Structure 1
Amino acid sequence: MIRVLLADDHAIVRMGLRAVLDSEEDITIVGEADTADDAVRAVENAGPDIDVVLMDLRFGPGQSGRELETGASATARIRKLPDPPNVLVVTNYDTDVDILGAIEAGAVGYLLKDAPPAELISAVRAAATGATAMSGSVATRLMHREEEPANALTSRELEVLQLVADGRSNREIGATLFLSEATVKSHLVHINTKLGARSRTSAVAAAREAGML
């Protein structure tokens, strides 16, 4: 039996996932969480009694009202626990920064919420064995990155550019990512070169147009 924890801040999404997965004889839902932190706590409490976590990437405060945590950071925390379950990301977001962040955090799969039920069921079964499961569009984005590595932004560069898009200064970006301002500036030079941009604003615009942010 594959034991699944649902982690999503929307109750209606959890209901939909439960409806699909409960129809399968080899899958059972053992818990739900409406914040990323609650998902980590549930795994800590359940020990080895969870096989797969279905993890959203962006959470609201939920009923607990605690400080927000992303699904990627929660995934990283879960994967550091003893005998952790595998994490399958199920989200609406398919930008490079989201995909790479989840994969580098340790997620074994990445599905979009518009995936057909059969694809979700197959992905859960694959995740339970540690196999990779990707939505077609996500796999295509990763393949394009591999085909054009010279122009692809690294995960760190994507983090820097996302903070630029959020309106952060170089000093604030450095403080957030534990980098010196000189290192932040170096990343920005590389970002502009790869994107053919001449300013922070044009770099952000180019990245959004390319689906990176």
Structure 2
Amino acid sequence: MTSTEPRTVRVLIVDDDPLVRAGLVMMLGGAADISVVGEAGDGSQVLPLVDRHAPEVVLMDIRMPVMDGLAATEAVRARPGAPEVIVLTTFDADDQVLGALRAGAAGFLLKDTPPGEIVAAVRKVAQGHPVLSPAVTRRLIARVADSEHDRRRAQARERLAALNDRERKVAVAVGQGRSNAEIGAVLFLGVPTVKTHVSSILTKLALNNRVQIALLVHDAGLLDDRE
């Protein structure tokens, strides 16, 4: 029998506070399967460091000088083969967090999140799973004033019109925070079929992950529908 080495997750830390960066480096350095490959003090340094070190996960502060975390997230996620981004913030109702999620970030963490949870989040995101549940997404959205509510709802519904009826039901179930197994049970589908529908939704709507599906469904107002 042959044994394989556990995969090491390559992480880039982006924060304008050197003490925060040092704390994160120390925290993640204690995990044998995680390697901090670079640090940046503002968003303008992110793309060159991504090119140089090829991280799989970027821990991205929101409020930084020169280029903030939202602009940096948009720039990173627009590239082919982009690393996953976890937004770091001290404000769980920061409207820029929503912007980062819509730009393709895999989730967000508060800076006072316990170390073990941050390490677990990095591992989870590296495996392709978001670290923000749709329920938390909805609470975040509800706390942010949005003067463009009607326009966003119309735009979201127009985008979702590209889905067929079954895909629409699956998208709503994702927005409700259901797992693939739970969606299958509710819609009488096998889990592989649910996965196929989720993949189709992501492709048709040009989305990166389930968090973005949940945001779009919420924006469309479908979580309040009783139809």
TM value normalised by structure 1:
0.60
- 1:177 match: none
Counterpart mapping for 1:4-153 below 5 A: 4-46=11-53, 49-60=54-65, 68-134=66-132, 140=136, 142-143=138-139, 145=141
Runs of 4+ in 1 over 6 A off after TM superposition: 155-158
Q: How many residues align?
A: 144
- The CA deviation string for residues 136-164 of structure 1, in whole angstroms up to 9 with x for no partner, is 8x954624747x9xx86558989xxxxxx
User: Match of 2:224?
Assistant: none
Query: Whole-Å Cα distance in 1 between the matches of residues 57 and 41 of structure 2?
Result: 16
Check whether the contact 2:87–2:97 (CA below 8 A) recurs between aligned residues. Answer: no
Query: Hey, what's the Cα distance between the residues in 1 that align with 2:103 and 2:150?
Result: 13
Residue pair 2:89, 2:111 contacting (<8 A) in 1 also? yes
Name structure 2 gaps, 5 residues minimum: 1-7, 153-227
Q: Retained in 1: the 8 A contact 2:10–2:56?
A: yes
Shift in Å at residue 82 of structure 1? 2.4
Change (3 A) 1:94 1:2: same
The one-letter code matched in structure 2 to 1:88 is I
Report sequence identity in percent. 38
* CA distance in 1: counterparts of 2:99 and 2:150, whole angstroms: 9
Q: 1:145 to 1:88 in 2, by over 3 A?
A: closer
| Structure 2 residue identity aligned to 1:29 | V
Partner of 2:86, secondary structure, is strand
Structure 2 Cα separation of the partners of residues 114 and 108 of structure 1: 18
- In the TM superposition, residue 81 of structure 1 has moved relative to its aligned partner by 1.6
Change (3 A) 1:110 1:45: same
- Structure 1: distance between partners of 2:17 and 2:24: 11
- TM-score, normalised by the number of residues in structure 2: 0.57
**Residue 164 of structure 2 aligns with which residue?**
none
